[in-house]
Structure formats: C-alpha cells, structure tokens
Structure 1
Amino acid sequence: MTERIAVVGAGIVGLAVARELARTRGAVVTVLEQENQVGAHQTGHNSGVVHAGIYYTPGSLKARLCREGVALLRAYCQEHRLPYEEVGKLVVASTTAERAGLRALAGRARANGVPGLAELDALALREVEPHAVGVAALHSPHTAICDFPAVARSLAREVAELGGSVRLSHPVRAIRERAGKVELIAAMRRFTFDRLVVCAGLGTDRVAAMAGHQGDVRIVPFKGEYYSLGEGARSLVRGLIYPVPDPRYPFLGVHLTRHIDGEVLVGPNAVMDLRALRWPGTWRLAGQHWRTGVRELYGSLVKGAFVRAAQRYVPALTAADLREAEGGVRAQAVARDGRMVDDFVVDVHGPIVLVRNAPSPAATSSLAIAKHIAGIVPALSG
C-alpha cells in the first residue's frame, strides 16, 4: 500500500524531507505551505553560508548532520547546476584574550572532521583577507556559499516530478489523529494522511498545539538585522569573516559574508521578538543573558555600534559603506528553564513527527536532516 504523507512547511528542510520520503519510500507526499512561495521565511533570509561544522559539539546531531549535509549539498548543487562556491571562512581573534577561545574552536572543528583547517597569525590571516586585522585566526578554506532559495525551488520541482505536490497558500487550521491516520484542514479543505511531518519553523508551536503535542520547549523568534556594503567597499571582503563566538550564546555575532551574487552583508545581530514573552523560558533566558540582549538592542538602534562591530575586523569600513538590507528571523527553541536548545530536536508521536528545533546550520544540513527524519518516520504496518 502506498503511503500518503504530509509535510507542513515548504522551507528547505521541509522540501528536503518531502523529496527524501518520495524518493526512498515511494510515498505520495503533499507539502502544505501557508505562504504563496517556497522558502519564504528562514530559507530565503539567511547568510547563504554552507557551514563546514566548526562550531558544533562533537557527537551532536548538528555536528554529524552538518558534515554529512555539506557533502550532500555540494553534490546536489553540482548535479543540478546550482551555484556553489568555496570562498573560505576566517574566524578572527581580535584580542589576545580571544586566543583561548579560538584554540578551543579549532579543537572542536578538528574533532568534527572539518577539512583543511589552518591556524594563522596576524600576518598570515592578511594573506587570506588583505583588509582584515586580528591577532590570530582560524581558516576553513572549504566553507562555501550557495543559493538556498534556488535549492528549495529545485527540491520543490523534484517533489512534483516524484508524484507529490507542493500546495502553496495552504495554512493548516486543524489536526487530529483518528484510527491511526492524521486528518487535517488546510485552506478550508479536508485531507487524510498516513503520516504527518511538521517542519514549520517559526510556526512549529502553533502546529504542534493543534496536534496536541506542545512539549516543553517553545520557539522564540530572534530578529536578525543586516547591512550590505556598497559596491565600492565590497572588495574589502574576499570571503567570510567571523568573530570568535561567545560559547554561552548560540549566535555568532556580527560577521561579514560574501553572497553568491557578489553582495557582501554585515550582520546579523539577534534581537528577541517581544511576542515570545508569554513563555516562562523567555523571561529566564532574558535574565541569564540580559547584558548580551542590551548590546544587541543597542546595535539595532544605533548604526554606529553596528559599524564599530564590523570595524574590529575590517577597519577600512566606514558608516557610509553600510546600507540597510533586508533582515530575517531565526527560530530558536527555548526550554522552560530558559536554556537555549542547541542541538537539532525531532520528536515522534505516533504517526506525527515534529521537527522541534532546526536552527543554523539547518539549511546546510537539510539533505542530511531529511535522511535522518525519513529513517524515523514510522512505517505502515501490514
């Protein structure tokens, strides 16, 4: 009997899951998306960086699926003639105090199998990025950039070619389990499926509540604001320049990233969306990280603070070089005790699979996440 599976969410993760289920299990897959295009949210509003696996705890799902996902994504882009360019990344220690963090990051990256790593001094880092400054850096030459929205569109076409469908402007309004099936209403239509996979990003909590599986974490939106460099300043950045991250916080700080179209973005910051204040974990998170929150909010309100953050690594930049660019929103799971959930989290509740947490590097890892999820979606009995 042919399985009928619904996937909620037409971001890059949902579409990759749909393709994998159709390709490997022969399922008839229907993707339900509330927007009128695929990749409308996080997929279409991110840095475009294909992460190599530098930051993630060795042995975690993030570490494993990122490294697996890079290889799958590179091959996918080559097969489908989509842009993919290894521009390289520098993680720069701007002060002597940051050297220890940089060494720890290098050890973590090597444990994750990131290839080609090199630890550079102040002179050597300028051979990679002539306009960058710092006391030391970690160079990942195979960190890449690609066009994630183009990948999403390609995945959607494959879903259709495999006999599935991507139904845009189909917000899910109700879900219930009945006799081992999943019934749902989307766009005022009633559907019945054997299995349901929820990859709803910022909408995960709402869809999980409809299914009766809210759980003990909630998605807290963080707004990320960017500036872009004017054409005259783009030559100051060859590839990707990142700070040494604060290990207490899951965001990477203001960085400079070259995009596949030649644009160079500066950012993002990470400002908590106040709509999440109804969740107790949000207040506890704010209490634990209020200093960081104040700094990020200040950067949001004062362009000069944003400029100074970028000038730590590329001093030649001026305020006139930075122009406001389109921002994005990151969906970050926060536990009731205020702890940010760092790893990918996938729950199974009978015929329903919920992707609870899939922040960066989810786009990089999307094809590997899809394989992982396809392996845990319950098979039909009989």
Structure 2
Amino acid sequence: MTAYDCDVLVVGGGIVGLSTAYAITRAAPGTSVIVLEKESGPARHQTGRNSGVIHSGIYYRPGSFKARFAVQGAAEMVKFCAEYDLPHEVTGKLIVATDHAELPRLHALAQRGRENGIPVRELGRAQIAEYEPWVRGIGAIHVGTTGVCDYGAVAARLAGLAEDAGASVRYGAEVRVVGRRPGAVAVRTAGGEVLRARVLVNCAGLYSDRVARLAGDDPGMRIVPFRGEYFELAPSRADLVRGLVYPVPDPAFPFLGVHLTRGIDGTVHLGPNAVPALAREGYARGTVHPGELAGTLAYPGSWRIARRHWRYGAGEVRRSLSKRAFANEVRRLLPDVTEADLIPAPAGVRAQAVLRDGTLVDDFLFAESHRMVHVLNAPSPAATASLPIGREVARRALAAMG
C-alpha cells in the first residue's frame, strides 16, 4: 500500500498556486495539500512584479478562459481585498486612441467589452479631460470596473488562509526530480526531501514547461521569457495621472503597450516595454543564463516569433535602449512628460508560452495526464483572475485523485 505525504502537491507559490491550494481546502475539507516554492517567500516573480492592475476583462475574446475568469475575478478580487483589509482601489481606466486609424479598433473594443458584460462608456476628445485632464487623445473608452491592488499581499493572505485550513506551504523547496509510482507521484527537492502525493499540480510559472518535462509529459510549448521594463513618474509630476490610462492595443500581439498606472501607493508606473529576456529570471538587462538562453534560441518557435513580429519587436528594443524613445511613446498619451520626469523602476518577466509554430499562446493553457495537472500558460490577467482560476485548477486536481 502506497504511503502518501499529501493528497495534492502543488509546485509553485505564486498567486495561482496559492489560490489553488486555498480552493482545494475550501472545496474538499480534509484534503491534505503541500505547496512547494523554491523562493524564500510567496509571489517573488510574476505575481509580485506586475503593475498591480485589477483587469476588467474588456480585451479578451468572449467565451475564452481569459474573458470568463477576468470578469468574474475582478469582482471577486475587490471583494476579497475588502474582506481581508488588503490595499486596493477601484479607479476606473481610460483606453485612449491617439490616431484616427485606431478609432475602429477602439469601437470594436467597446463592443467586445459589452459582449463580456462590462459597463463601458465611449468618449469624445473633450470628454477625456473629465477623467484625465493631462491626457490627450481623439477618442477613448472609460471602464469603471478596473482598479489596483497589492498582489503580493493577496498571495500572502491566500497562503495564510490555506495554512489555516491545514495546508502546508514550504519555502526554499525547489523541485528537482518528478517521478511516477504505482498510484502516486513522487518529487525530490533540491534539499533531498522526497514527497509522495496522489496528484501533482504544476503552477511553476516561468518553469512550468520544465516541470512538465520532469514529469515525463510533453507540454507542446516552451516558456519564452519577456522582460517588462518600467519607469516611474518623478513624485513632483505624479499628479499628471489620476488613475489608469492605456493605449489601444495591437490585436496581433498579446501585450497591451506602454500604459500609465497609478498604484495603491500613489506612484505612477509607465510601461511595460516588452523585450526578450536572456534568462527566465532576467530582471536586469545584464542577467544572462547561457543554458536557458541556448534553450530559447534552439526552440523553433522563438525564430518564428522573430520573423513574424520583428517590426513590433524592433520598436520595443529601441524603447528599451533609448530613454528618449520611451518618453516619446509616453508623450503620445501624456504630452507634458519629459525624459527628466522618468525614473527607472524594477522590471518584471512574463512567462510567455510559445508553440513550435511561433504562436504566442494568448489564453490560459492547461494540460492533464495521469495524476498530473499542468498550468502551462497563466498570462495577464492571471493575478486578477486568480480566485476563479484556483477553483478551476482545484476542480481538475480533485477529479484526478479519482
């Protein structure tokens, strides 16, 4: 008879892994859960290094995981933050067209928002100043359900709630080996600890494809890391932005462009500028992990991305290398900004799943095999949608227990 250390073993202590653990303890009390996180605390990567936006769901294809989870998740996140007294604010946001060629896309975006059940208001040039007096554009959409919060604090609270319900969250526990046994999954950590579980849930984010391969599964994709580079507005200029201001996104690319975000601490972040990272944790431009870089360069999908999107990518790289170019991009929305107003801010890295044909996976991607549930792509709005995503992954994990 197999001896188990737990029923469900979750790999990854970001917001999705912790939400999954929390959801399992609520859906099936008495189910034993262990979360293994390689860092010394929760939310040290994507969760703790984003702009803190509670996304409304306006951008996402109706019926997609993104659309369903974001709309539901935004309302739940505000309620969760209020219930547990976590920093948050519902600010609303503007999506602003600065060129006549963007107006048809802006109108289509408003229609998509309505299809997703989101209250939107279309604005003319003069109405933009009602919300953002310093922003300039020829048309805009106002979305009232968008806000900001501290996702690091949310993740920490989810960890605490899961532990209160009996789960164990273990930090400094990097998974190095995954094996299947009759009726069980076994892992060995970098510290030599061996744990056996009925089901393994892979929420490893930047390393989700690697964990899937450790488990003997072909994920059919590869994580290609993109660094999101930010600036802050100088404190003396922070009053130029009241809430959240976004450009009209390019529908061919799953990034939202350089936007303006007033955080819960009053700091205004500008970005992100998305460029290929030379390591999965390549938060600094000079951080290079030769093995990881070689793996990215050897992957056919990486070169197909480059061929398909080189013009877009060249603009991102130019703004990465030139503060003047970045300031010019910001001035499309906020004309009064100067280079001197921009202060470098910490970067994040997005774990972008890429298929072999170069397709950038634009929705949540799950895969399952015997006693395994893999979360292979959890892009923005994963933090916003973390509560319903956690329930979805929990449902799959509990079903996999048989």
Do both share a fold (TM > 0.5)? yes
Which one is further off, 305-314 or 266-275?
266-275
- Aligned partner (choices 304, 312, 329) of residue 292 of structure 1: 312
Give the aligned partner of residue 385 of structure 2: 365
- Aligned partner (choices 164, 179, 184) of residue 176 of structure 1: 179
Contact 1:126 1:132 (8 Å CA) reproduced: yes
- Aligned partner (choices 71, 86, 92) of residue 88 of structure 1: 92
Give the aligned partner of residue 19 of structure 1: 22
Q: Specify the code of the residue in structure 2 equivalent to 1:332.
A: Q
**Is 2:401 aligned against 1:380?**
yes
- Aligned partner (choices 150, 158, 163) of residue 160 of structure 1: 163
Give the aligned partner of residue 81 of structure 2: 77
SS of the aligned residue for 1:363 comes to coil
- Aligned partner (choices 103, 118, 122) of residue 121 of structure 2: 118
Give CA-to-partner distance per residue, 1:263-320, whole Å, 9 cap, x none.
1000001101242222110100110000111110010000001101111111111111
Q: Specify the code of the residue in structure 1 equivalent to 2:106.
A: L
After superposition, residues 179-198 of structure 1 pair within 5 angstroms as 179-186=182-189, 187-198=191-202
Question: Following the alignment from structure 1 to structure 2, what is the Cα–Cα distance between the partners of residues 167 and 374?
Answer: 19
Give the aligned partner of residue 323 of structure 2: 303
Question: Following the alignment from structure 1 to structure 2, what is the Cα–Cα distance between the partners of residues 312 and 256?
Answer: 11
Structure 1 residues 379, 2: closer, same or farther in 2, change over 3 A? Answer: farther
Unmatched tracts of structure 1, length 5 or more: none
- Aligned partner (choices 50, 57, 65) of residue 53 of structure 1: 57
**Is 2:190 aligned against 1:200?**
no
Question: Following the alignment from structure 2 to structure 1, what is the Cα–Cα distance between the partners of residues 5 and 12?
Answer: 22
SS of the aligned residue for 1:364 comes to coil
Structure 1 residues 376, 269: closer, same or farther in 2, change over 3 A? Answer: same
For residue 379 of structure 1, report the CA deviation from its aligned partner.
4.6
Question: Following the alignment from structure 1 to structure 2, what is the Cα–Cα distance between the partners of residues 380 and 205?
Answer: 22
**Is 2:214 aligned against 1:222?**
no
**Is 2:262 aligned against 1:267?**
no
Contact 1:32 1:171 (8 Å CA) reproduced: yes
Question: Following the alignment from structure 1 to structure 2, what is the Cα–Cα distance between the partners of residues 149 and 273?
Answer: 23
SS of the aligned residue for 2:340 comes to helix
SS of the aligned residue for 1:194 comes to strand
Contact 2:186 2:196 (8 Å CA) reproduced: yes
Q: Specify the code of the residue in structure 1 equivalent to 2:138.
A: V
Q: Specify the code of the residue in structure 2 equivalent to 1:352.
A: M
- Aligned partner (choices 104, 111, 131) of residue 107 of structure 1: 111
Question: Following the alignment from structure 1 to structure 2, what is the Cα–Cα distance between the partners of residues 67 and 52?
Answer: 6
Give CA-to-partner distance per residue, 1:56-88, whole Å, 9 cap, x none.
000101100111111221111111011221111
Question: Following the alignment from structure 1 to structure 2, what is the Cα–Cα distance between the partners of residues 312 and 258?
Answer: 18
**Is 2:136 aligned against 1:133?**
yes
For residue 2 of structure 1, report the CA deviation from its aligned partner.
10
Q: Specify the code of the residue in structure 1 equivalent to 2:9.
A: A
For residue 215 of structure 1, report the CA deviation from its aligned partner.
2.0
Give the aligned partner of residue 350 of structure 1: 370
Question: Following the alignment from structure 2 to structure 1, what is the Cα–Cα distance between the partners of residues 58 and 114?
Answer: 8
Contact 1:121 1:137 (8 Å CA) reproduced: yes
Give CA-to-partner distance per residue, 1:19-42, whole Å, 9 cap, x none.
111121121111100111100000
Question: Following the alignment from structure 1 to structure 2, what is the Cα–Cα distance between the partners of residues 159 and 339?
Answer: 36
- Aligned partner (choices 39, 44, 51) of residue 43 of structure 2: 39
What TM-score, normalized to structure 2?
Answer: 0.93
**Is 2:247 aligned against 1:243?**
yes
Question: Following the alignment from structure 1 to structure 2, what is the Cα–Cα distance between the partners of residues 243 and 216?
Answer: 33
Give CA-to-partner distance per residue, 1:340-367, whole Å, 9 cap, x none.
1111011111111000100000000000
Question: Following the alignment from structure 2 to structure 1, what is the Cα–Cα distance between the partners of residues 111 and 353?
Answer: 27
Contact 1:3 1:380 (8 Å CA) reproduced: no
Q: Specify the code of the residue in structure 2 equivalent to 1:239.
A: G
- Aligned partner (choices 149, 152, 166) of residue 152 of structure 2: 149
Unmatched tracts of structure 2, length 5 or more: 279-292
Contact 2:372 2:400 (8 Å CA) reproduced: no
Give the aligned partner of residue 286 of structure 2: none
SS of the aligned residue for 1:221 comes to strand
Question: Following the alignment from structure 1 to structure 2, what is the Cα–Cα distance between the partners of residues 159 and 374?
Answer: 13
Contact 2:277 2:349 (8 Å CA) reproduced: no
SS of the aligned residue for 1:21 comes to helix
